[in-house]
């Protein structure tokens, strides 16, 4: 147990699928898992452990932003001995090449934050997904005929829809980095996985394309991102 997680040792599976929204986690447990049990509800950060196609898996919320993801993923890796975390989340497009509900498999996460410096005294602005986990996700995506785009995303400290000048951030990115979309948690997840010798991946669904004035509702963000959810779960059982 920790100040943020009341689960007992052994109640969280070795593989965890994480989402920012606790209600998305609840939806996944109720619609995809069998014999599931809620093992944490401290601060409303739900965690359920059950079975997906016979494999024991946990689904857990992580809240919004790198500090929140940093706390929950660190505790899962370091205290609950979780081996793999796959984050599923929503993102806002930073390029006109993307359309609503496009799927992104994050290869690298770029941030302007000082998360790594604050945690490890390390000047680091780019963290990477685990290559083995990404290969499994790609294999499953191809088998299920799920289209995806692989690349680098921005892990931002501000919600992208509220930014007055997105182009400024894009231009500040190091030379050679093409930012596909903006989210808020992948960098902390990848950094924590690396420092703990564990594995992590991240799949995102485009829910806003500001340049085209397009977006989906909060209800759809919570409940209808089926391709992303099923890709994560079907990848988890291959690990």
Q: 97-106: per-residue pLDDT in tens?
A: 998 899 999 9
Checking if the pLDDT of 46 tops 90, the result is: yes
Checking if the pLDDT of 3 tops 90, the result is: no
pLDDT confidence band for 222 (50 / 70 / 90): low
pLDDT value of position 187: 97
Is 208 a catalytic site residue?
yes
Domains and CATH numbers, the chain: 15-236 (3.40.50.1580)
Of 21, 102, 160, 208, which residue is the catalytic one? 208
Checking if the pLDDT of 158 tops 90, the result is: no
CA distances to 62, 130, 155, 156 from 123, in Å: 24, 20, 16, 17
Checking if the pLDDT of 224 tops 70, the result is: no
57, burial (CB in 10 Å: exposed 0-12, middle 13-18, buried 19+): buried
Region of 53 on the Ramachandran plot (φ > 0 left; ψ -120 to 50 alpha; else beta): left
Average of pLDDT values for 7-22?
Answer: 96
Enter the pTM of the model: 0.94
Handedness of CA 85, 90, 94, 96 (dihedral sign): positive
Listed in sequence order, the residues at least 6 apart from 52 whose beta carbon sits closer than 8 Å to its beta carbon are: 32, 33, 34, 233, 236, 237
């Amino acid at each position: 147990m920790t100040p943020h997680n009341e689960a007992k040792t052994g109640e969280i599976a070795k593989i965890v699928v994480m989402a920012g929204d606790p209600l998305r986690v609840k939806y996944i447990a109720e619609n995809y898992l069998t014999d599931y049990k809620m093992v944490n509800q401290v601060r409303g950060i739900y965690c359920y452990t059950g079975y997906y196609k016979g494999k024991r898996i946990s689904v857990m919320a992580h809240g919004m932003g790198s500090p929140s993801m940093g706390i929950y993923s660190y505790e899962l890796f370091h205290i609950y001995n979780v081996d793999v975390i796959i984050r599923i989340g929503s993102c806002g497009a930073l390029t006109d090449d993307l359309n609503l509900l496009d799927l992104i498999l994050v290869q690298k996460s770029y941030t302007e934050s000082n998360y790594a410096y604050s945690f490890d005294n390390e000047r680091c602005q780019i963290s990477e997904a685990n290559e083995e986990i990404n290969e499994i996700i790609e294999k499953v995506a191809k088998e299920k005929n799920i289209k995806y785009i692989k690349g680098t995303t921005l892990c931002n400290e501000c919600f992208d829809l509220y930014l007055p000048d997105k182009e400024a951030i894009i231009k500040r990115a190091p030379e050679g980095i093409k930012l596909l979309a903006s989210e808020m948690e992948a960098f902390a997840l990848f950094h924590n996985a690396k420092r703990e010798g564990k594995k992590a991946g991240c799949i995102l669904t485009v829910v806003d394309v500001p340049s085209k004035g397009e977006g989906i509702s909060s209800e759809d963000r919570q409940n209808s991102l089926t391709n992303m959810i099923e890709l994560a779960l079907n990848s988890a059982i291959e690990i």
